Chain A
Amino acid sequence: MLLTLMRNEWRQLWRSFQLPALALVLLFFALSDPLLTRYQNEIVQMFVADQKVEISLPTPTAAQALGQFFGDVSQLGLFVLILIGMGIVAAEKENGLTGWMLTRPVTRQAYLGAKVATLMLAVVALLIAGTAIAWAYTGSLLGPVPAGPLVWTLAGVIAYAVLIVAFLVLASTVARSPWSAGGLTILVLFANSLIYALAQQSTVGRFVPYRLIASIGQVLTAADSGNAGLAGLWDLTGPALVTSMLLAALLLVLAFASFARQEIPNG
C-alpha cells in the first residue's frame, strides 16, 4: 500500500510541475554559481570601463562558488520547497482528495507516511544531484574542493531541509488552508534565524538549526583553517544537525498523532 501511494504521490508532484520546479532551481544554481564565481572579476572589470582605475580583486575559489550555490539554494530553493510543502495535506483536504483516499482501503498513517516519505526522498535526492553537478562543474572551473567539508555541508543542508519538510507537513496537517500553513512556516523560519542571531555566541547558538545554514561558508573553508577533520567539522555544526533531526522527528510524530484524530469534512 505504501509503495502504491508513494508512486502516486511522486506522479502528482512530478506532473504538477512541483518537483521539476525544484529541480530546475537547483540545476540553475549548480551551473550559474560556479560560472559567475569563476568570472566574477572579469564581470566586474567589464562594468568598470575606465581601465586606468586599478581594482584589486581576490581570486575566486572553489569554496566560494559552492558557498554561493548552497546559499542560493537555501533561499530560493527553500521558498520553492515551502510552496510545495504547504499544500501537501491542506490542499487535498480542501479539495476532497484526502477524503477520497481515506475512504479507500488506505490507513491514515499510510496516507501521510507516503506523502512525507516521497517528498523527503525527492528533496534529498535532488539536493544530492544538484550538489554533485555544482561540485563537478566547480571542479572543472576552479579546481577541487576537499570532499569532507563538502559532504558535511551537504549533510547539514539536507538535515535542514528535512526539518523544514517535517514542519511543513505538521503545519499543512493542522492548518485550515495551504496559505496559512505556508505563512506559519515562514514565521517559524524567521524566528529560527532571529533566535540564532541572538544566541549565536552562546552555547545555545550551537544547537539552533539555522546554524547549519549560517555556517556553510565556515564548513566549506574548514580545510584552510585546518579544521577539516571529523572533530573539527562536528564541532562546527554537529550539535545543530542533531537538534534538527530530533526536532524533525518530533514534528512528524505530532503531525501523525494529529492527523489520526482529525475529522475530514470534505469527501
Chain B
Amino acid sequence: MSSPAIEVRGLRKRFTGRKQTVDALKDVSFSVPSGSIYGFLGPNGAGKTTTLRILTGLLQPTAGDLRLLGETVTYPGGPTLATRRRLAYLPQDPVFPARLNAFEVMELVAELYRLPRRAAAERSQKLLADFELLKDAKRSVKSFSRGMKQRLGLAAVLLPEPDLLLLDEPVSALDPVGRYEVLTRLAALRGRATVFFSTHILADVERICDRVLIIHQGSKVAEGDMGELLARFTPPRYRVRTRPDQVELAAATLNQQQAEGKLPWLLSVELESGAASKETNQEAPALNGDSSVLLVTAQAGRRSEMEAELLRVLVNSGITVLEYSPVRPDLESVFLQLLPETERPGFAEESAEEERDVAANADAQ
C-alpha cells in the first residue's frame, strides 16, 4: 500500500469533432495516495468525467502518463484485466444490462469478478439490504428510479471489495439520508481501499475527504491535503458575540483602530448576517434579534497576530465578549476563490448589490 493508487502526469485530452475541437483536459497531474479518500471537484464541464473515463480505459488520453495501482496504463484498452479486477467504477449515470433484476446484476458482477459464489450471494443480499433495494430486487432494473439505480450501482461497486473505487458523482441522485449513509460508508473504507470520487458538492468532500483535486476548464487549480488547502485559501476568521447593544461599538472600535494603523492584520469586520462591513459605523442596517455576532477576518497567514490582539482590543474598549471562537473555513470559499471572478456564483448579484449600496449612500448624504 505504499505507491500511490493513482498517478497522473501531464494528462491531456482533446476531442476532435467535425465542427470544433474541445480541449477537455490540459496538462493535469495529480497523485492519489493509497488508502485515501480523495475528492475530485470542478464545475460542470470541468473534465471530471473525462478524467475518469480515461482512467478506466474507455477513452484514450491525447498525452500523459497514467499509473493505476502501481501499473502503467497503456492505450488503447486501458488497465489490464488484473488491474481491473482490483478496481470498480461507477459511472455518472449508472446503466445495467436491460431486463435483469437487481439480484441478477449483482450475480453478473460477482461472476465477472470471479467471486466465490456462495459468499458473493450472501454479500449481495447484505448490500442490497443496506442500500434498501431488497424489496425491489426482483424487479427489472429498467424500472428503477435514478436514485435506485445509483444505489444499485454503489452496491455493485462495493461487492467485489475493490482496492480502488472510481466513482463519478456517486451521491448525486440520493436523498439527504442516503447521501449521508453512503458517505459514511465510503469514509469507512479509509485505509483499506482508495476512494476517488468526483462531485460538485463541497460539503460532501469536506465531510470525508483527506485530499482534494480541483479542476476548472480542464486545468488543475488546486490539489492537496484538505486541511492545508483550507488553511492556505481561507483567511483566519473569528466569530465574536457581544452584548446586542455593543455590536456597533465593537465594529466601530475595530475599524477605527485599523484606520489608525494599529491593526494591520485586519481584513474585514462583518455582521454575521453578512449585511454590513467595515462601514458599520454609519447608519447600521436593520439589526434583527440575533445580530450581535461579528465575523472578524484577518489577512491570510496572520492568524497569530489576530489571536494575540483581537480579544484584548475589544475587552480594553469595554466591550463584553460573550462568545469568541474560530470559524472553521469551508471548501466552498476555497472553491469560489479559485474560480475566475466572473464565474463565481452570485457575481452578478453581488455587483448589483454594491451598486444599490452606493445609491443608498448617495441618498443619505
A binding-site residues for B, Cβ under 8 Å: 1, 4, 8, 11-12, 15-16, 95-97, 99-100, 102-108, 260-265, 267
Q: Indicate whether A263 sits within 8 Å of B58 (C-beta atoms), given known contacts A1-B112, A104-B109, A107-B81.
A: yes
Q: Which one of A1, A100, A102 contacts B57 once the chains associate, using CB atoms below 8 Å?
A: A102
B295-324 vs A, CB cutoff 8 Å, 1 = contact: the mask equals 000000000000000000000000000000
CB neighbours (8 Å) of B108 from chain A are: 4, 8
B57 touches A97 (CB 8 A): no
Establish whether residues B76 and A15, one from each chain, have CB atoms under 8 Å apart when the complex forms.
no
- Establish whether residues A267 and B112, one from each chain, have CB atoms under 8 Å apart when the complex forms: no
Minimum C-beta distance from B2 to chain A (A) = 24
Please give, as numbers and ranges, the residues of chain A lying within 8 Å of B53 by CB-CB distance. 99, 264-265, 267
Name the B residues within 8 Å of A11 (CB-CB): 99-100
- Residue-wise interface mask of B (106-125) relative to A, using a CB-CB cutoff of 8 A (1 in contact, 0 not): 00110111100000000000
Report yes or no: A103 in contact with B97, Cβ–Cβ below 8 A: no
B174 within 8 A of A: no
Q: How far is the CA of A108 from the CA of B84 in the complex (A)?
A: 13
Q: Can you list 11 A-B contacts with CB-CB less than 8 angstroms, sorted by A residue number?
A: A4-B111, A11-B99, A15-B99, A95-B95, A100-B94, A103-B57, A103-B89, A105-B113, A263-B58, A263-B59, A267-B58
Kindly list chain A residues whose C-beta atoms are within 8 Å of the C-beta of B91.
Answer: 96, 99-100, 103, 267
Would you call A104 and B113 a contact (CB within 8 A)?
yes
- Give Cα distance in the complex from A104 to B98, angstroms: 16
Q: Within the assembled complex, what's the spacing in Å between the Cα atoms of A12 and B97?
A: 8
CB distance from B77 to the nearest CB of A (A): 7
Chain B contacts for A106, CB-based, 8 A: 84, 112
A108 surroundings in chain B (CB, below 8 A)? 77
Choose one: B77, B81, B98; the contact of A12 (CB below 8 Å). Answer: B98
Q: Kindly identify which residue among A8, A107, A264 contacts B59, using a CB–CB cutoff of 8 Å.
A: A264
Tell me the bound Cα distance from A103 to B86 in angstroms: 11
Which residue in A15, A99, A105 is a CB contact (below 8 Å) of B112?
A: A105
Q: Please, which residues of chain B bring their CB within 8 A of the CB of A100?
A: 91, 94-97
Indicate whether B56 reaches chain A with its CB closer than 8 angstroms: yes
The answer to whether A265 touches B59 (Cβ under 8 A) is yes
Count chain A CB atoms within 10 A of each CB in B58, B84, B91, B94 and give the residue with the most.
Answer: B58
Interface residues of B in 70-112 (CB under 8 A from A): 76-77, 81, 84-85, 89, 91, 93-100, 108-109, 111-112
Do B98 and A16 touch (CB < 8 A)? Answer: yes
Chain A CB within 8 A of B34 CB: no
Cα–Cα, bound, A260→B98 (Å): 24
Residue from B58, B98, B99, B100 within 8 A of A103 (CB atoms): B58
Please state if B112 and A96 are interface contacts (CB–CB under 8 Å): no
Contacts of B85 in A (CB 8 A): 105
Q: Does B219 make an interface contact (CB < 8 A)?
A: no
**A1→B112 CA distance, assembly (Å):** 6
**B150 close to A (CB within 8 Å):** no
Compute how far the CA of A8 lies from the CA of B96 in the bound complex, rounded to whole angstroms: 12
| Known contacts A262-B76, A267-B53; is-contact A96 B59 (Cβ 8 Å) | no
What is the minimal beta-carbon distance from B256 to any residue of chain A, in angstroms? 61
Whether the Cβ atoms of A97 and B97 lie closer than 8 Å is yes
Q: A97-B97, A105-B84 are in contact. List 4 more A-B contacts (CB 8 A).
A: A1-B112, A12-B97, A260-B76, A267-B58
- Whether A103 contacts B56 by the Cβ 8 Å rule is yes
Instruction: Determine the residue in chain B with the shortest Cβ distance to A104.
Output: B112
**Alpha-carbon distance between A85 and B95 when the two chains are bound, in angstroms:** 21
Considering residues B84, B95, B108, which has the most beta carbons from chain A within 10 angstroms of its beta carbon?
B95
- Is B51 among interface residues, defined by CB-CB distance under 8 A? no
Q: How far is the CB of B108 from chain A (nearest CB, A)?
A: 6
A100 to chain B, nearest CB (A): 5
**Bound form: Cα–Cα A2–B317 in Å:** 80
CB distance from B102 to the nearest CB of A (A): 15
Give chain A residues whose Cβ lies under 8 Å from the Cβ of B114.
105
- Residues of B close to A95: CB separation below 8 A: 95, 98
State A97–B113 Cα separation when bound (angstroms).
17
Which chain A positions have C-beta within 8 A of B60?
A: 263
Q: In the assembled complex, which residues on chain A have CB atoms less than 8 Å from the CB atom of B99? A: 11-12, 15-16
Closest residue of chain B to A9, judged by CB? B97
CB pair B84 A96 closer than 8 Å = no
Q: What is the CA–CA distance of A103 and B81 in the complex, to the nearest angstrom?
A: 10
Q: Considering the complex, give the chain B residue whose CB is closest to the CB of A262.
A: B76
A56 to B71, CA, bound (A): 81
- Across the interface, which residues of B come within 8 angstroms of A102, CB to CB? 56-58
Given A8-B108, A103-B84, is A261 in contact with B95 using a C-beta cutoff of 8 Å?
no
Give B234 Cβ to nearest chain A Cβ, in Å.
37
Q: Which of A1, A8, A100, A103 has the most CB of B within 10 A?
A: A103
Name A109's closest neighbour in chain B (CB-CB). B77
Q: Which of the listed residues A11, A104, A108, A260 has the most CB atoms from chain B within 10 Å of its own CB?
A: A104
CB of B166 to closest CB in A, whole Å: 8
Q: How far is the CA of A11 from the CA of B57 in the complex (A)?
A: 27
Within the assembled complex, what's the spacing in Å between the Cα atoms of A1 and B84?
A: 13
Can you name the residue of chain B whose Cβ is closest to the Cβ of A99? B58
List of B residues within 8 angstroms of A107 by Cβ:
81
Determine the distance from Cα of A25 to Cα of B43 in the docked complex, in whole angstroms. Answer: 53
Q: CA of A104 to CA of B60 in the docked complex: distance in angstroms? A: 17
